Structures are given as C-alpha cells and as structure tokens.
Chains A and B, each alone.
Chain A
Amino acid sequence: MDREKLVEVRDLRISATNDDGDIIPIVKGVSFNIHKGEVVALIGESGSGKTTISLASLAYTKPGLHFAGGELLIGGEDMLQAEPLRTRDIRGSKVAYLAQSAAATFNPAITIGEQVTESAVLHGILTQEQANKRAVELYRALELPDPDRIGIRYPHQVSGGQLQRLMAAMALCGKPDLMVLDEPTTALDVTTQIEVLKAFKKVIHEEDSAAIYVTHDLAVVAQIADYIVVLYGGEVMEQGTSDQIINNPTHAYTQRLMAAVRPKPQAGLGTAVGAEHEREIPAIKVRDMTAGYGGIVNGEPKVPILRDINVEVKNGHVVGVIGESGCGKSTLARVMAGLLPQARGSIKLDDEELEGDLRDRRLEQLQKIQFVFQMADTALNPKQVIGDIIGRPLEFYHGLKGKKKHAKVVEILEMVELPAEFASRYPMELSGGQKQRINMARSLAANPEVMLCDEVTSALDSIVGANVIKLLTALRDKTGVSFVFISHDLSTVASFADEIVVLYAGRVVEQGPTDEVLTPPYHPYTRLLISSVPELRIGWLEDTMKKREMAVGIAKNVEITSIGCPFFSRCPMGIEGTCEKQNPPVRELKMGHQIACHRTIEELEEVEIEVQRALHEDEHAADQGEEGTLH
C-alpha cells in the first residue's frame, strides 16, 4: 500500500506498577503502521495487551499503567509526549474511541442527537447546525431507521445494534483521522453483528478514515480489516495483510488461533452419543409450559417470556438450546431448576411430576438437576476455598464428611482436569477457564442426572472455551449425565449437542436431532441464524448480504407476540393474513424433527433448492469472472 502513513507505532512499551513497586511490562515493544483509509486489526486473547495499545493512541493508559518507551506518532506528533491540555484536543477530534458497550457509553438522560454532536461542537470543529446536519448524513450512511428524527430519541428507545451504530456516528461526527474500535460487536447477537459490521464497513469506506479494530474474533476481522497484527502477551507474533494472515499464517500461535475458530455450523460436526446411557424414560420432560415474570394473573404471567414449550431431555443426551438474547433460553433453564415457577404446564423428572418452586421439591430431586451459572466469577463464593465449594454438595446431598469428603473432592477435581492442590485455593487465584471448571465441578459433585449449563463458554477466550467443551464431552461419555446446553453460539452447540432446540421470542420454532436441524429443510429463522455465523473468509460479509434472508431479517426488532408466529415480521416467506393471526402448526419430520411454520415442508424444501441454485449461479459467474481476468 503506497498511501500516506497516518500512524506510526515504534517499539511501544507500556508497563504496570504493582503494590510492591515492581514494574511489570504489559506491552513489550510493539511496532506497526497505519496508513490513511486503512483498518488495522489488533487480535489476541484477553491479556494480550490489545486494548492497552489501542488506548495508547488516545494518549491514555489505564490507571496503574505508564508509557515506558517507544513512540506512537499520529501525523508526526508523538502521543506519548502529549501534554495534558493537548490530549484534550486530540481526543474526540483527531482520534475517536468506540467502546465495547454502547449501552454503557450513552447517557440515558440526554437525547442521542445531542450526544452524537457534542464532541464535534465542543472541539469547535463544527457549529451545532453543521454538526446536526453531519449527524443526519452519518445516520443515513449507517442505515439507521428514520435518520431525520432518530436524533431526538433517547438511548433506551433504540435497539442494541442501532445504539452500536449510533456510537460510530458519535465517533465520526468530528471527522477524526483515526477511529479506535474496541470489540464493538462482541456483545451482540450474530444477526445484529452482521448489520453493525456492514454499516461500519460502509461508513469507514465512505469516510476514508483509518481505524484500529480490537477484537479476539478472527472471523469478524476477516470481514473488516486490511491489515492484521496478532498479539500475545504484549508482543507481536505476526503481522501482515488480512489476506496473508488468514489464508497463509506462518506463526504457530496464529495457526492455533485459527484452529480455535469455530467451524461453520453444519451436520456431522457433533459426536453422536453412544446408546449405553439411553433409557426409555426421558430425564426431563417439559409439557405445554408457559412462564414469565411479574407474578401470575389468571394463569398467565404478567410479562410472559416462554409460551407453550414442549421439550424433552433424553437420558445421557445433550440438548442444545439456541436463540438470540431475550428469547428465553436462560428462563427455560431457570424453570427446569425451579428458580422460576412456571405459570402453566408440567415438568417431569424421570416421569415424576416436579413442583414448580424448588422449595417444594424433594432433596433428591434437587440433587438430580444441577444448574451451572454463566459467570464463574460471580457463581463462586470468593470467601470459600475450592475444597469447600465442591465439598458442600457432597456434604449436603450425600452426607460425606472429613476424609471421605476430601477424597471425593480430589476425585472430582481430577474429573475436571485440575490438580488436587487447588482444593486449598480461593477462586480469585484461578484463571477464568479454571473457575468455569470449578463451577461445573460443583454441580458434578451433586452427582446429578441433568446439568443445566447456561452460556458456560460465552465469557471465555476461544482456546479456553474449546477446552471446556472438550471436557464436557468427556464428562458426558464418562458419567452419562444429560446436559441442557444453552448458548447463543450455534457453532458451539452444533459441535456438542445431540439435539437442538431453536427458541425465538419465547417459542420453540424448530427442534430435533442436531444433524436434522442443521440440514434442510430449515425453519426460516434457523436459516437466518446459520447464515449469520461469520466465516473465516474474506468477502463472506458481502456474499451473505446478498441472501434475501438478510435483507428482510436484520434491522428489525424481535417482537414478543401472544398469537401468530413471532418471526413473522422478519420472515422472508411469511404469508400475510395467516402467519400473524394464527399460531403456526408443528410439522413432524423424521426422527422427531419438528418445525413450527405455516409453510409446508415441501415449500420449505423448495426454497432451499432455489437458494442452492442461486448460489451455484453466483459461483459459476465468479468462476467465469476469474477466468476472464486470468486470460
């Protein structure tokens, strides 16, 4: 690239000082360049120093850190030497920052428009009127709905994906030379992520601004970055163009990162369960269950979350529950655990009716269903040592004490592949992945029949998360425990679950064996979910946007409806007059595969054939195009 250099980072060093006054290097001599109009991605796992480096471009370090050497030049000016007053000028006008959580960035009490234009006006770059005009242009460029009037709304009046794009508008309003994007799509659902990525890419291209994109997600980086810097432990492992890094990584660490990228969800990924643990009676059987919050009035919850749910968890099977945030995945697990009594319907454990409230359940029933919480950080009592945390269920359910208890604790630690001396440590002294293992070990100690795992890998780095999944698979094979595995990540579920339940707005839209759910015919929503999972391939975003599901499906909010199909407003094949008025019939396919849709199976299959044909034509055209250039 022969464009003008905008940012030069030379041998950047940042250190931390701990309580004892020791200096600990965090960033150990990092060098790279950013040219005008170029997006540079910093990738690495947590602790790699990627956020620290990106913040240095704002002449900022987190408290406790300091610049230890090197230089970071933006347009020839060294940010590390900037005086406090000068940094005020730089931030927001020369360099703009986009944080991970838009919801936490916006002030809920001020209108969006005011906040978007604030920094441009404050820095005297634009007058309020000019800024307002520019903001509307940006809203339009970012494809936000109703661009002329979205500015007078308050942050809670727009969706999460829209807020994320509005934050981009806020950053771009003052026409900064450089944008710093810190994991801007990590917290979003896959379908929302696509919409945000597309808008970011378009606006960065149109504004011709340079950007630092910080993320751990290689598949996302492949869509948006021109140049990639791979970091580990504050050092550059490898850097190069996106094409080179993604298609031809040379460093072993990069290769390891690539291997941890989850494959595209498809049939045949999972490990089919052996028949040895199977029994006639399902472990958990949920029938016509409706649940929600805010108390129950006339048999209906005030705020309904789940409606008419029918789910079965067979003995020794893994049932994956997927859906976007707010679809009721966690609520389903909470109802099964008795933490939230259902309003209607029944839950059976080993063909025995369970009380809705866990306080009315018998001890052995409680012991058989164990809940594993999402965040190991908060799910483990910080004041108890690991031995006590794991030992408590042993004592509580099985009456083990003293030496016997300790022996069992060691045995369980072994099962989750942790050394016995961990029994005397506090949770604070473990890494994130280890804490999650302890979290599961505690449930395992109860010797349960069913483990309800709520997003247990979501907060972990990809390599660590992959190890946890490996462990869960091994545990299932060894103990024959059934799992309800809740995740928003279809790839993870596909690689681990025997059956998949797809939830949308509190209803089951499709369920069945994993391989059946992930092969056509699909429910239109499942299809949208599958095609939204980013692939580690340059150009995937553009290809996907061509599909018609995307055009219809994204940029719409989920509506929870009491009658009709909840997906209707986003469905590309909805039948006007039917879908929004009647509940969809549940269509039975082979092997217990069910799809709840007004369209017949034949119609759904037909769509699939059409899509395949269109795809082939595209590929054909592309092939021809390539040949054309070659000759």
Chain B
Amino acid sequence: MTEQSPTTKEEAILAEIDSFAELPDAPPKRRIRLSWVGKLSVAIVVFWLIICVIGPSIAPFHEMDMDGDDGFLGYHANEYGTFILGTDYLGRDTLSRIIYGARNTIGISLASTVLAYLMGITLGILAAVKGGWIDMGISRVNDAILALPTIMLGLIAIAWLGSSIPVLIGTASIIYASSVFRIARALGQDIMVQDFVEAAKARGEGVWWVIRAEVLPNAAMPLATDFGLRLVFVVLFISSLSFLGLGVQPPASDWGSMVRENLQGLTYGSYASIWPAFAIATFTIAINLIVDDVSAKSGGSLATKMV
C-alpha cells in the first residue's frame, strides 16, 4: 500500500460523514409483495366477487328451478340442461344455487362488515381520543354486548324482528362492531400517547383533526388486515344462522342454508351439501391467507396487534 491511498481513503470517509449528515439515500419504498399462496388467494377472492356481480347471467339454471330428474342426483343431463354438480334435495341445480348464493352470503357479509367497521372505528377512536366519561360509557355498553354469545344475540334479534336481509345485516354489524370497537380503541390509545399527537394537541388542533390526520392513518393498516378476518367471521356467522334456519329464507339460496338443507343427502352419497361447504371454505381460507401474507410481509407486527 502506498502512502497515497490511506489519505485518500480518509478523505473519502470524511466526505461521507459530511454528506451523510446532509443527504442519505432514500431507502426503497416498502411494497407488500405477496407470495404465490397470497396471489392464488387473491385470485380466489376476486373470482367470487366476480361471481357475485355476474352470477345470475352465467348460471345454467335459476336458483329456484326444480329441473333435475330427482333430488340428490350426481352429474347428469336432461332436456333442460346439464347438472354439473348434481341436484339438491328438491332437484335444483347445485352449481346454480352456489352461484346465486354467493350474492347473498358474500354480499350480506360484506355489507355487515363494512357497517361494523364504520360503527366500531368511529366509536373506538372517539373513545380513545376523548377518554373520560365518553370512553367509560361506550366501553361498558360494548362490554355488555361482548359478554353475550354472538349466536344467542342473533337468535334474539331475529326472533324479535323476523328474518329479513336488512335485519341480518343490522344484527351482524352491531355484534361485530363491538370487537372492532375494542381493536380500534386499543390502537387509538397506543397512538394517542405518541409524541406527534401531543405535538398536534400543543399546536391547538381540534379533536377531528387529531382523529383524521394523526390517528386514523396510523391505525389504517392494522385495521385493514383485521377487516379480512372479520369478514370471515361474519360469513361463518351468517352461514351458521342460515344453518339454523334463521338466516336467508328459502327459496333464496345461501351457502350456509344449502349445507343444512342437503345434510341428509350425505347418507345417500350426495355431494349437495359438500359443494357449498367447499365454497365457504375457499372464500374464508383465501381471505385468511391474504391477511397472513400481508402481515408477515409487514414484519409480523400486525399479527400481534390483531389478537
């Protein structure tokens, strides 16, 4: 090594220190890239959403048409068409009923979850920001709802108001808003003690600014991943209500009630109750896998916050 090189190296380091104090490279923006499992899951979810929209126009039969040769038949064809997945207990086409049912099952769940989120986040963040008596009041009411089993609450509401789609959506959204409330409040409280919120308060900002600009953007990501999970719970809730005969009323189709109606078919070797169960499974598992993938890619911190 010559005399020259260490000096230039020293100079290079000093230059680096000076420049570092002024301008480091921006790190690459963090993007969430999904694994192939995640991508497959997204495809499945997108597939079902498309079915919801265009379902009735591509279904081979109407959900109420009893065109099959008999109940609980497997693959067969007659003069009305081909029954790819066979028929249900009344001889209706299983595939068509699943396609029609997607609308009810996913639509009701989505509507309920969105409503639950609107209620839960608004109240949860409000409780976290305001604290004191407001927090106390909302939290105790919420505790009362949480203390009751969800299915019991659903049964009471439906027994009282009768079963209709608006009642289903309302009941499910109120029941699930209570768990959203808890997450939103906990997240909000975490964020409220951060210095940047204190800085906003010291500046004199009002409650709505603090909620909108400081708290919500920081709570959005964990809440978004929780949305996926919550949607799954609502699908299962609606399905279990339908299974009990309290959900979507016949002759309209819905995946949960389809499982129940065709349960006896299992003894005859019919798959009529397996297919809708499979549909529920694909949709819920796909959403779960997306959630897992996203939270793993964001360092797993979301997963811990969501419990």
Contact = CB atoms under 8 A, between A and B. Distances in A.
Interface in B2-42: 10-11, 13-14, 16-17, 20-24, 26-27
Given A252-B13, A393-B203, A433 B21 contact: yes
A463 B21 CA distance: 9
A572 B254 CA distance: 85
B152 interface: no
Interface string A372-405: 0111001111111000000011001000000000
A455 to B, nearest CB: 12
B198 interface: yes
A252 B10 contact: yes
B76 interface: no
A396 B202 contact: no
Contacts of A442: 199
B214 A253 contact: no
Interface stretch (A76-84, A146-154, A166-174, A423-431): A423-431
B194 interface: yes
B199 A382 contact: no
A338 B204 CA distance: 10
Nearest to A237: B13
**Dominant secondary structure of chain B at its interface with chain A:** helix
A358 B201 contact: yes
Contacts of B22: 417-418
Contacts of A433: 21
A361 interface: yes
B13 A338 contact: no
Contacts of B218: 381-383
Contacts of B213: 381, 384, 392
A105 interface: no
Interface string A352-371: 00000011010100100011
B205 interface: yes
Interface residues of B, number: 28
Contact of A463 (B17, B27, B198): B17
Contacts of B217: 381, 383-384
B195 interface: yes
A446 B200 CA distance: 12
Nearest to A20: B28
Contacts of A358: 201-202, 204
Interface string B200-223: 011111000000011001101000
A274 B27 CA distance: 42
B11 A252 contact: yes
Interface string B63-80: 000000000000000000
Contacts of B220: 383
A551 B92 CA distance: 95
B278 interface: no
A354 to B, nearest CB: 13
Interface residues of A, number: 45
Interface in A564-605: none
Contacts of A359: 204
Contacts of A25: none
A337 interface: yes
B47 interface: no
Contacts, number: 80
B204 A361 contact: yes
Given A253-B13, A383-B218, A396 B203 contact: yes
Interface string A333-344: 000011100000
A428 B299 CA distance: 15
A442 B196 CA distance: 11
A467 interface: yes
Given A393-B203, A429-B26, A252 B14 contact: yes
B21 A467 contact: yes
A378 B202 contact: no
A69 interface: no
Interface string B243-285: 0000000000000000000000000000000000000000000
A124 interface: no
A185 B157 CA distance: 63
A38 to B, nearest CB: 27
Contacts of B20: 431
Given A237-B13, A339-B202, A463-B21, A429 B194 contact: no
A201 B299 CA distance: 41
A73 interface: no
A233 B27 contact: no
Given A378-B195, A417-B22, A419-B23, A371 B202 contact: yes
Interface in B105-139: none
A237 B16 CA distance: 14
Contacts of A446: 203
Most buried by A among B16, B201, B220: B201
A379 B199 contact: yes
A157 to B, nearest CB: 27
Contacts of A371: 199, 202
A413 to B, nearest CB: 12
Given A379-B199, A463-B21, A396 B204 contact: yes
Interface string A426-448: 00111101100000001000100
Contacts of B11: 252
A251 interface: yes
A48 to B, nearest CB: 11
A55 interface: no
B133 to A, nearest CB: 16
B27 A428 contact: yes
Contacts of A463: 17, 21
Contacts of A237: 13
Q: Quick one: which of B27, B199, B205 has the most chain A CB within 10 A? A: B199
A464 B20 CA distance: 10
B132 to A, nearest CB: 13
Given A237-B13, A363-B204, 5 more contacts: A253-B14, A359-B204, A380-B196, A429-B27, A442-B199
Top 8 A-B pairs, shortest CB-CB distance? A383-B217, A379-B195, A252-B10, A366-B204, A378-B195, A429-B26, A381-B196, A373-B195
10 contacts: A233-B13, A373-B199, A378-B195, A381-B196, A383-B220, A384-B213, A392-B203, A393-B203, A417-B22, A425-B26
